[in-house]
Structure 1
Amino acid sequence: MAELGFQVNVHKHTVSNATLKKFAKFAVANISDVMNRTNGTVDLRPFHKGGKILGRALTVKTAPGDNLMVHKAINMAAPGDVIVVDAGGAQRNAIIGEIMSSLAEKKKIAGFVIDGPIRDVDALSKGKFPVFARGISHRGPYKEGPGEINVTVSIDGMIVHPGDIIVGDQDGLLAIRPEIADELAKLVAAVEKKEKEILAQIAKGTLDRSWVDKILQAKGVLK
């Protein structure tokens, strides 16, 4: 594993606003199903009041408990960016709190995803600015570095590249590569259409559940 150093890289986004907006209406669970249920985070949770996170990833890799490069990322971020912080999953020192969250919201940043803890949860939980994190710590961060901006990071095992689409809701988070986004959106739209049809059949009492016994028969459980 390469030693963490100091890097500030500039990344030119390739995802159009039109492509990004396609994912605003999709449930993360349905996107995950289309992505074979293998991608995404399971241990990070939302600390804001409802709503979805959606935007292009501005990635930060930082030493555990240090947020110097997160401050730099806020300065660099464009409206609609999601600041994605790989803090190694360490739980001792918070990476952001109310002040940094308020500043990011003022700059129209789309939210934070932090593989590490946060603080000022009482304040953050009352707002709608999206913040996903691994946990909580009252201990403040250091501002010494090292850290790297716009490099590939790992968030709870999910690989995130600069410029990836980040989408999250109460069920969790996903990172989507730009080159597959449009085709993925078509597949997810088909899944959501099918789901609506199933819910309509449930409401009418017409849903066919024979598939359950067919699977069990194929496995030799039923005759």
Structure 2
Amino acid sequence: MSAPAQYHLQWRGQRFGPWDLATIREALSSGRIHSLYQIHVDEKWQPLRDFLENLHPSSDPVQVAAKQNETRLRTEYEAKLQDLQEKLEQAQSIPMPGRPPPIPEHLLRKPLFVAPPVEPTPPQLPTYHLEIPAASARTSGLAIASFVLSLLFFIPIVNLISWILSIIFGHIALVKIRNNPLLGGRGLAMAGLAITYGIIMIIIMSAVFMELFKHF
């Protein structure tokens, strides 16, 4: 009966063995080694996990134990690493003499300068100035007639008709001039009405005074 094969193991520069397969399984089960150890097989180093998988591809209890041990070690390593990171963050948050306090994280993410949005300017279109000659305002004929008729107060009998026509033409001329900005002669119409109303008021007041003086 041949002696069992002997293997050398290595982890971080340290060598172990020679061990046979039973000793390796017992060390894996007890947790003294794990499946990340390097094993020397066929003149080369390879992970112990790969060697065991190739040796027993089926559900080997040693391989299962090795995987469980590897998972446990990895979990412990990650927990220790997380604990070290938390302790480091706590140490950095403690203010030290001569060291400025840490900058809050929300200020680090905030940009120092935000450029205002630039709105696109519309293209400048050429402007053209079209000069339209203003239409010359014409004088209202009714305004002229109202002014001329108001001056006929010195002609007997005719002045009564001229005053009535002057008042009618004057008011019609003012209405038309107000509705048509191109129509002139407002001053003539106002003058004709003022003269006519003034003469009528003078005549009425004169008649009233003469009637009053008869009783004295």
TM-score (norm 1): 0.21
More strand by share: 1
Of structures 1 and 2, the one scoring higher in RCO (CA 8 A, sep 6+) is 1
Structure whose alpha-carbon radius of gyration is higher: 2
More helix by share: 2
